[in-house]
Each structure stands twice: as structure tokens, then as C-alpha cells.
A and B are shown apart, each in its own frame.
Chain A
């Protein structure tokens, strides 16, 4: 057996670290978009490794919908300040609403998910960012399967999926004109299973809501939604307590839970392996239409 070969997780890690260093070298003002979800946690962990023993040479930026799980915010402050020792910037959707830049959605399926795009693009402009680092993966969703590592955005922050730059070998072209920026996705080639296995292997702490717990939920179109103060419910939707956990973490109003008793990483991995639905299957925001993600991405979404 050849000892000079990498196992697949090591190879993925080496590739992601390469991409993080490449963007740090090619861009003047990058920032890592941090949601407190497992993917952005893994990207920030990789960034810590990439620049060690120096600190992460760019800030982490949280676009706060105001509808976050409180556990996520507590985790965010601890992880970024205490563990990474990185700089945290927060820009909030509430401010964007107060400035009259966007209008809050009304009704049953209202969510601030779409509104985040404006807050994000405003933040990119305000902070003069030329690169926003994201934790998106190509296996998540069909529009994302066509995404580049270095993804160009025009001066309106828009993605043009039909006119993407070809990306060859490991040579990344981050050249751009003034006002344009890039989205860079270091874990493009990871799958949900890779992320979970890596978290286990690296012993990365996660927000508690990824693990099984009791919670008040309502069931809507087969999705379990947390009955938070922000969720608008129909009269016939009755909240009940269930044993659940979250597979992804986003806005409270549109992130679905799954019934689960998995309380350790090993149990979660077993559950993910046996699962017959994708993790975004629990996301109400993706169910709006066949091209929901593509449309949001074109407009500048994460």
C-alpha cells in the first residue's frame, strides 16, 4: 500500500485549505459569511487551519434575520470570539426593514429568508467587500451543482449561471472590475456526509439544536416548524411537543426539524446515512418552486 496517498476527507480538506489561501491572496477585502450552521462552522474551522499559527485574516460576517434560534447566537459569540479569536461583524435584516429598503413578507409562509439578500448586498457595498466566502456545497441543490469555487458577481451582485467562467485544474481566476465581487465556496466538493464525518473526526463543537431535544412544533406540508413567536400559523395548526433535531440551521420560520432521538454525532451520522431525503428537503424556502434556489442565487443570495 502506497503511504503517500490521501484519504478522501484529507484530500477534500487540502483542497478547501488551498481555496481559502487562494482567496486570501487574490482578494483585498474578503469576509466569511457565518450563519452558525454546520457548513459555515466547518469553513471557519478550515480557515483557522489554513492560516495557523496566524489568526484568520478576514472577518466573519453574520447576516442576522432577527429570527435566529437563540442557541445559534450564543454559539456564534462563543465560537468566533473565544475559540477562533476572529473579528465578528453583524448586519441585520431589521435595520434594512427600518430603512425602508425591503418590506416584511406577510401571511402564512412569510419569512425573512429572501430579505437577507438585500442586507447582504448592502453589507458587501458598505464594507467594500470584494469576496464573500460561503459554505454552500454542490450536492445540496441542483442549481448549486453548477456553481464554481470562485463565482463571479456583477456590480448588482447578480449571478449569471449561463455565462460562468470555466474553472480548470486548481487555477482560480478572481480578476474583476471595480464594484464587482466574488462568492467563494471552499467546501463545494463536500457532501452532507463528508461534513458530518469531518465534524466528528475533528471534534468540532456544534450548536445544541443539531442534537435531539424536545420542542414545540407545528406540521405544515410535511415539514415540522418551530412554533416561535415569529411563525404565523393557521387556525387549524396546533402546536405540539415532539422530540426533534435540525438538519440545517437557517431562519426559524422556514427551517424544518426532523423527528429524531439522535443525541450524539455518531447517532446523527447513522441517521444521515439511512435518510432517504436530502437535508434541504426540510427547507420550506426551497419548496417555493422548482427554480427557487436558482432565482434567489441570481439575485445575489448566499
Chain B
């Protein structure tokens, strides 16, 4: 049996050279999601003996016949007692090629809220389909959310192939149904893999049972999929997060603008415009602790100094003179409602967008989306937990933004209830 290289051959050079891939797993109850994650962790030797012993003991105590790998991801007492997953759990594993962060989201309770949360930072989504059941409503829901959140890559795993005798026609038929549906969505890169998470077929090791399949195993795909172009490298955006003023004799006049590149590339000397003031200047230096950089790109955290003294504070944005974002107080967004308390039509909410805090009014709910059929609902505009809808917002001050489609950082926002301070909605600017 093939095993990934022993961890102790992971020398420093290799370790420092690894990329990070964040992925999310979506699945319905009983489609083998926990088993698949358990399989990935187990086969890449990412489960430790004490963890394994602990879940084995719990499985034994409950009289379960096999070691329940789902217990690895169910961290809270209530989850273990009820055998359900309540919240997004983050898991980590590494192979000599890449480091992985899994956002494991539950399939049932508050599915939309949790899936959206997990999807917001993911480069890739694994969608699981039970080969016996084919594409069901939940599959479409997961695919829709993946496309709404613009996860760049999808790995559609057709699971439990062992239960359909590794039948090629079953696989092809599911692939076709999904592909037909996906044409309605905005999904760029889809891969289909026939697997059995339980038996291990095509998860880490290539399976002899699917000789008709010539694509990669799931792990091979996760290790090799091209992610370097997932960030927007064209439109330079630098939301100012914090102003650094050392107030020391050594750095008496230093005024640095700290933040994380939200798009594109800046070079020393670039002509820039500062929003909202509109003042122009040029980049004097790009500073990090180790010294100066000649250029910086997304998603680096740096400190920028300018050649002119301009009043700049948190919430401002440094952009290039010849490439500016949209600036407006009227914003169309797709919102996902995440709170038990319903949306108040015309209500005021706090809005957070990059490093900027404003208030807004939800002026109009344009339509809700039926996420099982993708049809617009226009006759019912009551918005509650897990609803996805398009709305028009009016903000108290202009936002500097791009469409979510072109930039996931400058195109995303959240709404906060001003009474409870809870995050009530996630928004993607249209």
C-alpha cells in the first residue's frame, strides 16, 4: 500500500517550501464525510495515537462496532452526546507537498450559515455524493453555495462506489447530472472522482477497482491543483488597518500605514491615490520587520510609507492612480442571513467592510433565492435564518469596493446587529 512519505523525511527546506490549501467539506448526513476526513487524516498519518486511543475508547464505551472517526471532528460535549456536529471545526494535516486546513461544516443544523462560513476562506470545496442516491437537493445546495462564495475549485467525490460495484455508468450518469446543473452556476474548475472513503479507493491510493478512471486520486488533486492564481493579482488594493507612529527619537517622523494587501501588487515608487480624500502621492517604502521590500503582493502584511504627508487613518484605502475601485453609498449585495432574529425591513445595521466601519439601511429586498431550485422568490420577502437574498444597501459613508466576483476581499462585507452585536449577515457585493 502506498503511504505518503514518512513525516520525518520532511526536512526543513521542504517544509518551508510548502503551499497552503484551505478547503471545505460539504455533505449530507450519512454520506461519509466524517469517514472521508478520517481517511485523509489517517492515511496521511495525521491522527496521533492518543487521539486514536481516545476515540476508540469512546466508541467502545458506546458499543459501536468500529472506531467512529466522526468523533475526531465532534469536539463539543453536546456534539458527542447527540452524535451531531454543531459548528465549523478546523482540521490540519500536511503531506510533504502541501499543508491543508479543512473547514469541516455540518450538513444539517444551520447548514447554510456554517457552509458559508467554511466556504468564505476556502480555495477548494469537496462535495460528496452518495453513488446510490446520485445528485440530490442538498448536493445542489452545496454547489450553489460554493459558487456563490466563489470557491475557485470543486472536487465532486462520488462516494460509496464499493456499494455500486464500482460501476462506471453510475459514475458517468452522476457526473452528467451534476455538470448539467453546474452550467446554471458560476463554477470554473470542477473535478469528478469516484471514491470509497470507507475502503480507501482513490482517496490517497489509486484504486484497482476503477481501472476505467484515469483522473487523479483526491489527495493527488489536493496536492497539485494550481492555487497560485486564486488571488486577484491585477487590481492593487491596500485597506489601511492601523497607523504606526513609533513616537521615539530614533523614528521621530515615521508614519507607516499597516495593512494586508487585498489585491494586486505595489512597487516602491508607484503613484498612488488615497481614498476617500483623493490625494495623490507615491510609495516611499514598503516595510517589514526584516527591512524594506521592493514590492508587495496579496496577501502579504506590510507597512507602507508615502512621500507626502497626507492625513490617512484606518478605513482609508491606498490604490493606484490608474486603477481604482468603485466608490458608492448605494450597494447591491447577495446576503446570507445568519441569525435567528429576522431581518428588519428598512432596519439599520452596522456594516464592516475591509477595515472600514459604517452603518447602513437595508433599503430593499429584491428577491430571495430558492437554493434548491435556484429560482428567484419575489412574493415572499421575509428574511430569516439561512435565507439567501439580494438586497440594496445605503451606507452612511462611501465604501471603496470591487465586485465579489473580481475580489473576495474588497467585495465582501458583514452586517452586525447594533443591539446584540452579533454578526447577522454575510454579504457579497454584486
Q: Which residues of A come within 8 Å of B, CB atoms?
A: 2, 4-15, 17-18, 21-22, 24-25, 48-55, 138-139, 141-146, 161-162, 164-171, 173, 175-177, 188-189, 191, 193-194, 197, 200-201, 266, 269-270, 273-278, 281, 290-291, 294
Contact = CB atoms under 8 A, between A and B. Distances in A.
Given A53-B254, A145-B90, A193-B94, 19 more contacts: A4-B297, A5-B228, A6-B20, A7-B20, A8-B18, A10-B300, A22-B242, A52-B289, A55-B246, A138-B92, A144-B75, A146-B89, A162-B76, A164-B87, A168-B412, A169-B412, A171-B414, A266-B12, A277-B49
Contacts of A50: 258, 301
A189 B89 CA distance: 12
A277 B46 CA distance: 10
Nearest to A25: B242
Contact of B75 (A142, A191, A197): A142
B109 to A, nearest CB: 10
Contacts of A273: 7-8, 10
Interface of B: 7-8, 10, 12, 15-20, 48-51, 54, 58, 72-78, 80, 86-92, 94, 98-99, 101, 113-114, 116-117, 120-121, 228-229, 233, 241-242, 244-248, 250-251, 254, 256, 258-260, 265, 287-289, 297, 299-301, 303, 314, 338, 350, 352-355, 408-409, 412-414, 416, 421-423, 426
B297 A274 contact: no
A250 to B, nearest CB: 17
Contacts of A266: 12
9 nearest CB pairs, A to B? A142-B75, A8-B20, A54-B246, A49-B289, A281-B50, A175-B421, A17-B301, A2-B228, A5-B228
Given A11-B299, A145-B89, A168-B117, A4 B18 contact: no
Contacts of B353: 171
Nearest to B81: A291
A24 B242 contact: yes
A18 B12 contact: no
Given A14-B299, A24-B242, A171 B412 contact: yes
A143 B246 contact: no
Contacts of B51: 278
19 contacts: A4-B228, A7-B16, A7-B17, A22-B241, A141-B75, A146-B75, A162-B87, A166-B114, A166-B116, A168-B117, A168-B412, A168-B426, A173-B421, A189-B92, A193-B94, A197-B12, A201-B16, A273-B10, A294-B76
Contact of B414 (A5, A21, A173): A173
A277 B245 CA distance: 45
A14 B409 CA distance: 15
Nearest to B338: A166
B241 A143 contact: no
Contacts of B350: 175
A292 B215 CA distance: 45
B19 A7 contact: yes
Contacts of A144: 75
Contacts of A9: 15-16
B12 A177 contact: no
A259 to B, nearest CB: 16
A274 B50 contact: no
Contacts of B50: 277-278, 281
Contact of A145 (B17, B75, B98): B75
A152 to B, nearest CB: 8
A166 to B, nearest CB: 5
A18 B259 CA distance: 7
A171 B411 CA distance: 12
Given A166-B113, A168-B116, A171-B413, A21 B241 contact: yes
Contacts of A22: 241-242, 355
A291 B80 CA distance: 10
A85 B416 CA distance: 37
A283 B58 CA distance: 20
Nearest to A201: B16
Of the listed residues A8, A138, A266, A291, the one surrounded by the most CB atoms of chain B closer than 10 A to its CB is A8
B229 A2 contact: yes
Nearest to B296: A4
Nearest to A1: B228
Of the listed residues A10, A55, A269, A290, the one surrounded by the most CB atoms of chain B closer than 10 A to its CB is A290
B48 A169 contact: no
Nearest to A12: B20
Contact of B299 (A6, A53, A197, A276): A6
Nearest to B259: A21
A176 B420 CA distance: 8
A215 to B, nearest CB: 22
Nearest to A152: B421
Contact of A49 (B19, B20, B120, B288): B288
Given A14-B260, A25-B241, A273-B7, A168 B87 contact: no
A142 B75 CA distance: 4
A162 B82 CA distance: 13
B173 to A, nearest CB: 36
B8 A25 contact: no
Contact of B7 (A54, A171, A189, A274): A274
Given A14-B301, A168-B117, A21 B246 contact: no
A197 B16 contact: yes
Contacts of A139: 91-92
A269 B76 contact: no
B87 A161 contact: yes
Given A25-B355, A51-B244, A53-B251, A4 B265 contact: yes
A7 to B, nearest CB: 6
Contacts of A13: 301
Contacts of B73: 145
A173 B412 contact: no
Contact of B86 (A5, A25, A162): A162
Of the listed residues A48, A49, A273, A277, the one surrounded by the most CB atoms of chain B closer than 10 A to its CB is A273
A276 B49 contact: yes
B289 A168 contact: no
Contacts of B301: 13-15, 17-18, 21, 50
Contacts of B409: 169-170
Contacts of B250: 53
Of the listed residues A166, A171, A200, A269, the one surrounded by the most CB atoms of chain B closer than 10 A to its CB is A166
Nearest to B355: A25
Contact of B12 (A51, A161, A200): A200
Given A2-B228, A7-B17, A275 B48 contact: yes
A146 B87 contact: yes
Contact of B98 (A8, A14, A200): A8
